[in-house]
Amino acid sequence: MVSCSTLPTGSLRSSDDGRQNDYGSYQHVGTFIPRQVVNVLCGIRPKLYGDGRNVRDWIYTEDHSSVVWAILMRGVPGETYRVGADGERDNITVMRDILAAMGQAPDAFDWVHDRPGHDRRYAIDSSKLRRELGWMPAHTDFAEGLAATIEWYRANEDWWRPAKEATEAKYAAQGQ
């Protein structure tokens, strides 16, 4: 039996320090892209915080999984690797990309007050990860990944529907 204390460890840091700006299958309906997609699927107008100029480095879920695997297999114990996919986009652009991909007008969303303390930009320098481990994102075409994400949510309503009501109730209680 292997004790967890004897395993070599390292760490990774995503562009939002753990809250993940992932897109793809199996993302919780409370995160930005899935929430907007399922709102449109449910006939609910999506919501955009503040002025929509908050920038995130988006990473496709399969790429995020592959980077975790790369760190586990080739990472140096005790090292920290910053994870980024060179996918920086502001939220209003992502919102309009979602709406366009789903056949909606570019202004078919509601503006809501910004969250307190909402960071303007999550940026990361992943050059160490790429240089030392040779990892590169495989999914660099955002439109293609977004289309696959939308299709996944269309085809898997049984997976996300149970969490939708509770998530929206939580946001409503917060005035969002």
Query: pLDDT for 80-120, tens place per residue?
Result: 888 888 889 999 999 999 999 999 999 999 999 887 777 77
Whole-angstrom distance, CA of residue 71 vs CA of residue 132 = 10
Residue 173 covered by a domain: no
* 82: containing domain: 9-162
Quick check: 41 pLDDT over 80? Answer: yes
**Pairing assessment for the beta strands 59-60 and 22-23 based on DSSP bridges:** parallel
Torsions phi, psi for 110 (to 5 deg): -110, 140
Residue 1 covered by a domain: no
**Range with lowest mean pLDDT among 9-18, 21-30, 81-90:** 9-18
Residue 51 covered by a domain: yes
Residue 31 covered by a domain: yes
Q: What is the pLDDT of residue 131?
A: 94
Residue 88 covered by a domain: yes
Exposure on the CB side of residue 27, measured as CA atoms within 13 A: 29
Quick check: 148 pLDDT over 90? Answer: yes
Whole-angstrom distance, CA of residue 113 vs CA of residue 143 = 27
Count of the separate structural domains present in the chain: 1
Closest by alpha carbon to 55, among 124, 112, 136? 124
Residues whose CB falls within 8 Å of the CB of residue 40, separated by 6 or more in sequence, listed in order: 46, 98, 99, 102, 104
Residue 174 covered by a domain: no
Q: Assign residue 15 the CATH number of its domain.
A: 3.40.50.720
Asked if 57 contacts 85 with a C-beta cutoff of 8 angstroms, the reply is yes
Q: What is the pLDDT of residue 174?
A: 76
